[in-house]
Structure 1
């Protein structure tokens, strides 16, 4: 059954594109902007600007405290051991004063982004510098939060080579999060340590403390592309994936491999920062970005909560902003003079005051970098059919899987399912192909001759009626498609529609009267309890016949997770043998390991109140994810877990049904895996899959997809085999098999603890589909291995065995 839960059908958003919110940052700014200066920045078109929390006065005060402490220690007659004593009292920075900051609460405060002092060094090897930096961070974050600032950017560490100091940095961030309970903290990091992209300016540690990426390159050392991401992963892990912790990524001049770009795409991005140095001049001499940069921006901007763009050190410069102060002051002075004088200013006053032309000229200020980004905004590809604003709201949003057997769905839910034409077009194509094959191959029909019907003259060509049943008809979209296929092929049909939802049954009765002309036999029943179709013309005797074509749409996000196998087990006994057809004919479940930090953070927040948060297979519109495995020979990125085929072609199925009948059997006491009676044991499945991960990374769970062969047409007269009619949710197959289909979101099997993946590791996934004859659930386990030699593998990580038994789908 369709599973995109609450969004509508297709919408016409072809003219709609993502919006860029562009901010201005000046790394040399030491004071917050005045209202006039901020207005000047907005005149350029920027949406926001950054502001330092403290000023040079505070910097000088901290440096003076550092120097005086060192001088005091040096003046004392201390041994080396005494100086290294961790109990030696250190300096404490006094609280801020109004001389230390120019940031104050005001009308623009909520649209200003605070920037912590770039001269602090939380990564410092010197304990004194680290302590002073941590104190500065706490003072600044607490004060910014008091002022009403919504987000604070914190400079990231300037190196990644010391795990101890990375942990030290992360501990400081964890502490700062407690200082500002409602403020977002954003760590500013490079996408990778590209030569020339290092932060400029000295820190409390002094000049030349950290080797630059340029000196690393000169020394012939290889640049570690993933070191900055490793640092971020350590920090956010120490902060327990706090939902108020985000990352700002400095975009490099040379973009790294696609895997690293996708890695950052999956992270909680708040800002993308662009320095002037990454732009290149076009033929007209204006700044522009490479095609690869444009592609990256267009991709990142399609996230539901798209990152803001921060232009760094591209203007307006200090001189322009100082001019803004003079201009606005002159306007205010002229206004005050006019209002204090006569009703009209004198000729001298009018001549000396700024003209309207000057004001307009001042207002039309432009910035070449900003203008270029707005050009990119206009040049983006419009939203596609699968990127409508409604669908975008469901990106990375957790939904509990529906249980259509246990629950009766509402009309609005059915209406949502029916909003996807692609799925029903594929179904109609499959039904049409099945009827055409039946007609072409002259297969027998299960329709019985009507008693008392007039004999057909010999030699008169006739097409026997086809007995068709739609099980789980809902509001009847598949019934309509069956009728259309019958008309298209010229194959007459006897049509039954089954629905257990008594409320939907009322709707079907109305459809039969007003749309289908009363030609559909409506049965209100669970399909598993149906006794079979009573042959037309034999109602008096109650003669039951067979079904030639059974049509269902019982598929879930993982194919079988809404108990399609169990439902079809209960009705497939009515399918004619050996020529009867089930649509769908088969479906397969597929898995791929993914990094999903945003959703993991949400589940971590739910876990204290929901003990099953990490044991539930969630239906999610997967978007901000990183597929951590690579496609290698024998181990594709998406791998099949198992398959179900219908009808079940087993010689003992009829005997089994005759032995056990249709009564529900009590569980327990059997020899099945769960000590059940074993009636549903044939629908148990197990898989063991191996994936290969080349770069190091982190795994938060498994993405689940499905594919289904609705119908495989019979070979043509020339012996060729037509392509099957299929639907798929696999990202690498959906465009080929069912492009723009939105009926099903994927399923996500989370892990309670993220698994770190070393470089060139192998991920092994074990999954079980379990049952106890009354419900169905999944169990999953993930293990990570690395090769320690040519013939030796070592397990480096493993999850616990997860089980969805507590939230199992009821039969």
Structure 2
């Protein structure tokens, strides 16, 4: 990947014609490339095949009696379960054949079938058609298929047949083992947009199988989450299959931000844009609204950005049927244009593909990736096990990644400088007899906090006596080298677990004339600095570690940096993460009960507050509701100093029960965890997306934490998600337990298992 590709999102753009009739040859693909298209769609079968299926249906219907209800109230006659068999494909039924262009094509299955039909005859014929097309596409080597989504409305029936559709897709995934199936869906369910075309099978369903629309007036015409509901049934039936993805049709009028956010969390791999979605600017050129531009930009920053397919915006230049296939193409090649050609050339900058040109221009205008986005390339929605720095000595490259953070260490330096300034201004006594403020950096790693503490001392003019404690023997070698080459020998290095450290050493003056000295004593520490926080603040055992050195802090004036930290939670929909966790569970049964460090991106917050800014264009996204689970503060003076006897860690146990109102229906796959910390007074760090921009924008040291659910929970409209979480300990390790409930009013409609990460707990 080049630097330019890394900085700017790339667009892969294709062309789709609903009524494409010409066979796609390598020459046509080459023409498309010359016009700046990256790919083309191609119907798997022809109108001849369509006609043949209609003939089979007509002939079969002519032999059937009118269906009647049996004693159980169903259409139980045997003739309703015997279906005609569509004969195999012939050369007239498809123009598709294996060739070198297969990798440049997206196959399109027939849109005139109805897999959801309540008429079993129509549903079975539709199933046969799709399975024949999938099998032939797989034979030809197509890697991508575009399958029109389920028809949701049949008279007074709504979404009744989605399960039939899902079952067929499950079979199709097995039939085409190397094909990625793109289910072509509208963003919202709008009955007015579900229009049957001439030749569609849906209107041919026998009326005996249709319910009357008695209550149709009471049901809304537009259901914002209706098509998402259908998609959820399909992907659940297919067990979140990795080759089952979404092709999303951009409407002319975008739905509310919460619907857009929901689709952003789904595996949208194709984005289709009709000619009617474009509007004309003042010069008459097709453009997209600011809302469409914003949504496209957001989707193009996904870890796997979708391809864009322009639909029915005109033929490929130079191909039969295009405007310039005969005339304009001659004008382009003739040495002297004819009079008619000269007149037509006076049209300003005639562009045979204005929609494509606009999209390429939009591509060039994409803002460069932010520092966080560049840093996170490859990390988006990627599951990582949390670090266990107490039991594992980290590698240098791990420390190096943390040290690239542009914010964290600058904020630490500000906190130390402010603490030193206050110490001097308040004329506090120091723990060093020579008047220097005693500063200890515990868990120093490769020493970035040491450098910042020395800078803060130089900046404020407050002298410090600095002690550095690190247990990693490999990192300690580097600290010794830094003390020689960077810190000019100003640092007192201690190779020890901080919990075993006895404090700064002080040699006593001779106590008699013979020059004998008393044993070395240990003084207290004035300012204790650490960076032991994990993605959930306390998940890397910062409380337990700092408990072990709290007794070394000056009893009245001692300062801990950080001074406190809070853990935060919110329920999320995260289909990709759920699929990845389930995949890992095959080899690791503990995977669904393991918290993961993840750069969350393709997710949707289920609990939101109304947007604080409704005047923006496009409207801003709803603000996620992220609640505080618990807090730790330092120094904790209530704990005794460590001794040779084991101490209870019960004071670091926590539990919480949080209620999250959810306005829109969805699926809860797990919990997103964040933290906020006060380093010193008003110097704060945050990974909470609600407060991060104000407290520590562009900080990259910590990704959020993800607590998965073994089995996703359905969340209805206007319901509540209740999260119960525990931080547990047995004095040997620390782990989390979590459970999620869903309630509508007083009725519990779903509850998860009590998950426990005890097998992957952090050892003390």
* Fold conserved between structures, TM > 0.5: yes
Q: What corresponds to 2:271 in structure 1?
A: 272
Q: What corresponds to 2:341 in structure 1?
A: none
- Asked if the contact 1:14–1:383 (Cα under 8 Å) also holds between the matched residues in 2, the reply is no
Q: 1:711 and 2:689 equivalent?
A: no
CA distance in 1, matches of 2:293, 2:453: 47
Q: 1:385 and 2:376 equivalent?
A: no
Query: CA-to-partner distance for each residue in 1:385-405, whole Å, 9 max, x for gaps?
Result: 1111x4121100010111000
Q: What corresponds to 1:520 in structure 2?
A: 491
CA distance in 2, matches of 1:357, 1:523: 86
1:317 CA displacement: 6.6
3-state SS of 1:321 partner: coil
Q: Which moved more, 1:43-52 or 1:537-546?
A: 537-546
Q: What corresponds to 1:466 in structure 2?
A: 437
- Asked if the contact 2:29–2:104 (Cα under 8 Å) also holds between the matched residues in 1, the reply is no
Query: CA-to-partner distance for each residue in 1:498-537, whole Å, 9 max, x for gaps?
Result: 0000000000110011111112111111001111111266
Q: What corresponds to 1:719 in structure 2?
A: none
1:700 CA displacement: 0.5
**1:147-158 → structure 2 map (5 Å cutoff):** 147-158=140-151
Q: What corresponds to 1:419 in structure 2?
A: 404
**Structure 1 unaligned runs (5+)?**
1-10, 332-350, 450-463, 666-677, 713-723, 788-792
Q: What corresponds to 2:634 in structure 1?
A: 646
Q: 1:58 and 2:57 equivalent?
A: no
Q: What corresponds to 2:288 in structure 1?
A: 289
- Asked if the contact 2:568–2:630 (Cα under 8 Å) also holds between the matched residues in 1, the reply is yes
Q: What corresponds to 1:245 in structure 2?
A: 244
Q: 1:447 and 2:440 equivalent?
A: no
3-state SS of 2:707 partner: strand
Q: What corresponds to 1:743 in structure 2?
A: 701
3-state SS of 1:404 partner: coil
CA distance in 2, matches of 1:306, 1:204: 34
Larger RCO (CA under 8 A, 6+ residues apart) = 1
Residue among 353, 358, 365 paired with 1:372: 358
3-state SS of 2:441 partner: strand
Residue among 8, 14, 32 paired with 1:17: 8
Query: CA-to-partner distance for each residue in 1:398-432, whole Å, 9 max, x for gaps?
Result: 10111000000111111111111310000000000
Q: What corresponds to 1:596 in structure 2?
A: 574
Q: What corresponds to 1:674 in structure 2?
A: none
Q: 1:371 to 1:353 in 2, by over 3 A?
A: closer
**1:127-206 → structure 2 map (5 Å cutoff):** 127-159=120-152, 161-194=157-190, 197-198=193-194, 201-202=197-198, 203-206=200-203
Q: What corresponds to 1:700 in structure 2?
A: 669
Q: 1:100 to 1:13 in 2, by over 3 A?
A: closer
CA distance in 2, matches of 1:466, 1:188: 66
CA distance in 1, matches of 2:5, 2:634: 40
Q: 1:52 to 1:357 in 2, by over 3 A?
A: farther
1:84 CA displacement: 2.4
Q: What corresponds to 1:338 in structure 2?
A: none
1:365 CA displacement: 6.5
CA distance in 2, matches of 1:191, 1:379: 25
Matched residues, number: 723
Q: 1:43 to 1:711 in 2, by over 3 A?
A: same
3-state SS of 2:93 partner: coil
- Asked if the contact 1:703–1:749 (Cα under 8 Å) also holds between the matched residues in 2, the reply is yes
1:80 CA displacement: 7.4
1:255 CA displacement: 1.0
Q: Which moved more, 1:302-311 or 1:582-591?
A: 302-311
3-state SS of 2:63 partner: helix
**1:90-129 → structure 2 map (5 Å cutoff):** 90-129=83-122
Q: What corresponds to 1:584 in structure 2?
A: 562
Q: What corresponds to 1:797 in structure 2?
A: 750
CA distance in 1, matches of 2:373, 2:336: 44
1:34 CA displacement: 2.6
Q: 1:759 and 2:717 equivalent?
A: yes
CA distance in 1, matches of 2:507, 2:15: 76
3-state SS of 2:88 partner: coil
- Asked if the contact 1:271–1:310 (Cα under 8 Å) also holds between the matched residues in 2, the reply is yes
Q: What corresponds to 1:566 in structure 2?
A: 544
Q: 1:352 to 1:770 in 2, by over 3 A?
A: closer
CA distance in 1, matches of 2:197, 2:319: 23
- Asked if the contact 1:155–1:189 (Cα under 8 Å) also holds between the matched residues in 2, the reply is yes
CA distance in 1, matches of 2:548, 2:274: 64
1:708 CA displacement: 0.3
**1:511-550 → structure 2 map (5 Å cutoff):** 511-535=482-506, 541-550=519-528
CA distance in 1, matches of 2:744, 2:597: 32
Q: 1:585 to 1:155 in 2, by over 3 A?
A: same
Q: 1:732 to 1:699 in 2, by over 3 A?
A: same
CA distance in 2, matches of 1:80, 1:581: 82
CA distance in 2, matches of 1:208, 1:251: 29
Q: Which moved more, 1:89-98 or 1:683-692?
A: 89-98
- Asked if the contact 2:190–2:223 (Cα under 8 Å) also holds between the matched residues in 1, the reply is no
1:29 CA displacement: 1.8
1:632 CA displacement: 7.3
Q: What corresponds to 2:312 in structure 1?
A: 313
Query: CA-to-partner distance for each residue in 1:589-638, whole Å, 9 max, x for gaps?
Result: 000110001111111222121101110100000001101102279x9701
1:31 CA displacement: 5.0
CA distance in 2, matches of 1:612, 1:278: 47
Q: 1:410 to 1:199 in 2, by over 3 A?
A: farther
Q: 1:563 to 1:353 in 2, by over 3 A?
A: closer
1:778 CA displacement: 0.2
- Asked if the contact 2:196–2:203 (Cα under 8 Å) also holds between the matched residues in 1, the reply is no
Q: 1:238 to 1:14 in 2, by over 3 A?
A: closer
Query: CA-to-partner distance for each residue in 1:420-479, whole Å, 9 max, x for gaps?
Result: 131000000000000000000001111135xxxxxxxxxxxxxx2011110001111111
- Asked if the contact 1:44–1:365 (Cα under 8 Å) also holds between the matched residues in 2, the reply is no
CA distance in 1, matches of 2:653, 2:686: 23
Q: What corresponds to 2:512 in structure 1?
A: none
1:78 CA displacement: 9.6
Query: CA-to-partner distance for each residue in 1:534-553, whole Å, 9 max, x for gaps?
Result: 12666973111000000000
Q: 1:578 to 1:763 in 2, by over 3 A?
A: same
Q: Which moved more, 1:257-266 or 1:97-106?
A: 97-106
- Asked if the contact 1:30–1:54 (Cα under 8 Å) also holds between the matched residues in 2, the reply is no
Q: 1:319 to 1:516 in 2, by over 3 A?
A: closer
- Asked if the contact 2:508–2:521 (Cα under 8 Å) also holds between the matched residues in 1, the reply is no
CA distance in 2, matches of 1:12, 1:495: 41
TM-score (ref. length: structure 2): 0.89
- Asked if the contact 2:32–2:316 (Cα under 8 Å) also holds between the matched residues in 1, the reply is no
1:94 CA displacement: 2.4
3-state SS of 1:186 partner: strand
CA distance in 2, matches of 1:32, 1:86: 39
**Structure 2 unaligned runs (5+)?**
338-343, 510-516, 612-622
